């Protein structure tokens, strides 16, 4: 059966979204995201490397635990799986192009329907990969990262790479091979591992030591395969503490960094931090960014936000300018994201049912983040925030403090110094002052 592509316009009446500035009243325009504007030596486009998430934007139907989907897509009607996937690709590339986003991201099963036969599924993924390759060449849109969905199929109910049954692990491997092949063919800049079911529901039936070892074994197996087959990009792990499992092994940035170090995977990987996952781990987004950045591991971001009253992954579009200003300051300080970009792993609300809502959601998200970049630049230029932080630790820069930091002092030396210096003077942490300073730039 031959498949028809590129014949339809799905988002009729909505044209290219352009920058019009803060005075603009046009809801279909950017007020802050000006892709060519130079900020700290690079264009906004290069700094932010925005990506559209295939799953939420073109597959997510708005279903929740209390009811089925409310989003009905005109590209999701053909009876043949390949034609449906081709129609979805038409809609996706139309949207991504109209938004002016340079990148997209996808799971294998977002691109085309899954199939239990690994050969048939592999063929389907190859089929859609060819279409994506054509669409990328026509539009100039690039693949930020690819990934395999190893959590939806019921065979993964006890985990994928951490499944207690080796046969399920083999199926996970088959799927990973297909998704890695697609990522390589499409020139993906990264490959993401998010272990949705790589954790446990109960320790009573779980050999955690073996599961973590098996998880690391699969990562090594994938890295070896991808490198042997020409993958030049970066591997990312996306931490999340729980949901759908009670406990996920990739709990948070610090846990993942420890895991990668324990299993000798540190050099191949970076972290893809998701805002709402940080919240679920009981951290701020800035905390996760700082932990990752300090370890040289802050590579990519899944942009969204939670809801302060709901303790689950609501995946809302970013609007919190304070949250982003703090995080962006950390990103800017490390010279940008290491190998990744900013992917909108965010979804419209169930009752946001107009096609226009998909545009408003992304325009708002891109503007929030672009604005945070401008704020971060101002904070850096002003310099007081950095200066105050540095001053707080100045006692380690010279004299005995520097000797101590260099490992030259023994515990007995500290005893002598404590007697010599007497009671230290009180030094204010100036938190409110710094909060005001941040507020001034926001």
Which residues have a Cβ under 8 Å from the Cβ of 28 and sit 6 or more positions away?
14, 15, 17, 356, 359, 363
Please give the residues from 358 up to 387 whose contact with ligand XUL meets the rule CB under 6 A: none
Instruction: Please state the closest distance from residue 343 (CB atom) to Co ion, in A.
Output: 7
HEC string of the chain?
Answer: CCCCCCCCCCCCCCCCCEECCCCCCCCCEECCCCCCCEECCEEHHHHHCEEEEHHHHHHCCCCECCECCCCCCCCCCCCCHHHHHHHHHHHHHHHHHHHCCCEEEEEHHHHCCCCCCHHHHHHHHHHHHHHHHHHHHHHCCEEEEEECCCCCCHHHCCCCCCCCCHHHHHHHHHHHHHHHHHHHHCCCCEEEECCCCCEECCHHHCCHHHHHHHHHHHHHHHHHHHHHCCCCCEEEECCCCCCCCCEECCCCHHHHHHHHHHCCCHHHEEEEEEHHHHHHCCCCHHHHHHHHHHCCCEEEEECCECECCECCCCCECCCCHHHHHHHHHHHHHCCCCCCCCEEECCCCCCCCCCHHHHHHHHHHHHHHHHHHHHHHHHHHHHCHHHHHHHHHCHHHCCHHHHHHHCCCCCHHHHHHHHHHHCCCCCCCCCHHHHHHHHHHHC
Q: Which does 124 bind (CB under 5 to 8 A by kind): ligand XUL, Co ion, none?
A: none
Q: Does 147 bind ligand XUL (CB under 6 A)?
A: yes
Please give the residues from 307 up to 346 whose contact with Co ion meets the rule CB under 5 A: 345
Q: Does 211 bind ligand XUL (CB under 6 A)?
A: no
> Which of 326, 345 has the CB closer to Co ion?
345
Q: Does 129 bind ligand XUL (CB under 6 A)?
A: no
| Out of 238, 250, 367, 377, the residue judged to bind ligand XUL by CB under 6 A | 238
Size of the site for ligand XUL (CB under 6 A): 10
Active-site residue identified among 87, 110, 313, 315:
110
Q: In Å, how far are 20, 308, 342 from 365, measured between CA atoms?
A: 16, 18, 10
* Residues present in the chain in total: 442
Active-site residue identified among 107, 171, 287, 362:
107
Q: Does 198 bind ligand XUL (CB under 6 A)?
A: no
> Which of 11, 55 has the CB closer to Co ion?
55
* Site track 266-295 with ligand XUL (rule: CB under 6 A), x = hit: --------x---------------------
Q: Does 249 bind ligand XUL (CB under 6 A)?
A: no
> Which of 287, 371 has the CB closer to ligand XUL?
287
Q: Does 108 bind ligand XUL (CB under 6 A)?
A: no
Please give the residues from 246 up to 305 whose contact with Co ion meets the rule CB under 5 A: 274, 302
For the question of residue 382 being annotated catalytic, the response is: no
Q: Does 345 bind ligand XUL (CB under 6 A)?
A: yes
Q: Does 110 bind ligand XUL (CB under 6 A)?
A: no
Q: Which does 147 bind (CB under 5 to 8 A by kind): Co ion, ligand XUL, none?
A: ligand XUL
For the question of residue 250 being annotated catalytic, the response is: no
| Out of 302, 326, 367, 377, the residue judged to bind ligand XUL by CB under 6 A | 302
> Which of 30, 251 has the CB closer to Co ion?
251
| Out of 240, 347, 348, 362, the residue judged to bind ligand XUL by CB under 6 A | 240
> Which of 105, 328 has the CB closer to ligand XUL?
105
| Out of 35, 94, 211, 313, the residue judged to bind ligand XUL by CB under 6 A | 313
> Which of 32, 54 has the CB closer to ligand XUL?
54
- Residues acting as catalytic residues: 107, 110
Using CB under 6 A, list all residues that contact ligand XUL.
107, 147, 192, 194, 238, 240, 274, 302, 313, 345
Using CB under 5 A, list all residues that contact Co ion.
274, 302, 345
């Amino acid at each position: 059966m031959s498949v028809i592509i590129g014949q339809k316009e799905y988002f009729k009446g909505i044209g290219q979204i352009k920058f019009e500035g803060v005075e603009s009243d046009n809801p279909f325009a950017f007020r802050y995201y000006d892709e060519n504007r130079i900020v700290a030596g690079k264009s906004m486009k290069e700094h932010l490397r925005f990506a559209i998430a295939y799953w939420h934007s073109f597959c997510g139907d708005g279903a929740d635990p209390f009811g089925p989907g409310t989003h009905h897509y005109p590209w999701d009607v053909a009876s043949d799986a390949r034609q449906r996937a081709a129609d979805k690709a038409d809609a996706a590339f139309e949207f991504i192009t109209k938004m002016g986003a340079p990148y997209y991201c996808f799971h294998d099963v977002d691109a085309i329907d899954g199939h239990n036969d690994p050969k048939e599924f592999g063929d389907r993924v190859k089929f859609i990969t060819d279409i994506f390759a054509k669409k990328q060449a026509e539009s100039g849109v690039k693949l930020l990262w690819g990934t395999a969905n190893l959590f939806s199929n019921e065979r993964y109910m006890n985990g994928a790479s951490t499944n207690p049954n080796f046969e399920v692990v083999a199926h996970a491997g088959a799927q990973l091979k297909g998704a890695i092949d697609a990522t390589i063919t499409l020139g993906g800049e990264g490959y993401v591992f998010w272990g949705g079911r790589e954790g446990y529901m109960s320790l009573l039936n779980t050999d955690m030591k073996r599961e973590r070892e098996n998880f690391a074994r699969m990562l090594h197996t994938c890295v070896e395969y991808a490198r042997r087959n020409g993958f030049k990009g970066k591997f990312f792990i996306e931490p999340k503490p729980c949901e759908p499992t009670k406990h996920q092994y990739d709990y948070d940035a610090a846990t993942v960094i420890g895991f990668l170090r324990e299993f000798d995977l540190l050099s191949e990987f970076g972290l893809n931090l998701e805002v709402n996952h940080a919240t679920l781990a009981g951290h701020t987004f800035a905390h996760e960014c700082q932990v990752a950045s300090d370890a040289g591991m802050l590579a990519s971001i899944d942009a969204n936000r939670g809801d302060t009253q709901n303790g689950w992954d609501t995946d809302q579009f970013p609007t919190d300018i304070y949250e982003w200003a703090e995080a962006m300051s950390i990103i800017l300080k490390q010279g940008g994201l290491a190998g990744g970009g900013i992917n909108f792993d965010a979804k419209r609300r169930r009752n946001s049912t107009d096609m226009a809502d998909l545009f408003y959601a992304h325009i708002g998200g891109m503007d929030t983040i672009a604005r945070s970049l401008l704020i971060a630049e101002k904070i850096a230029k002003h310099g007081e925030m950095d200066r105050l932080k540095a001053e707080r630790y100045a006692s380690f820069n010279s004299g005995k403090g520097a000797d101590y930091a260099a490992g030259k002092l023994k515990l007995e030396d500290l005893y002598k110094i404590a007697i010599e210096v007497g009671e230290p003077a009180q030094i204010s942490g100036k938190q409110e002052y710094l909060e005001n300073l941040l507020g001034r730039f926001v």
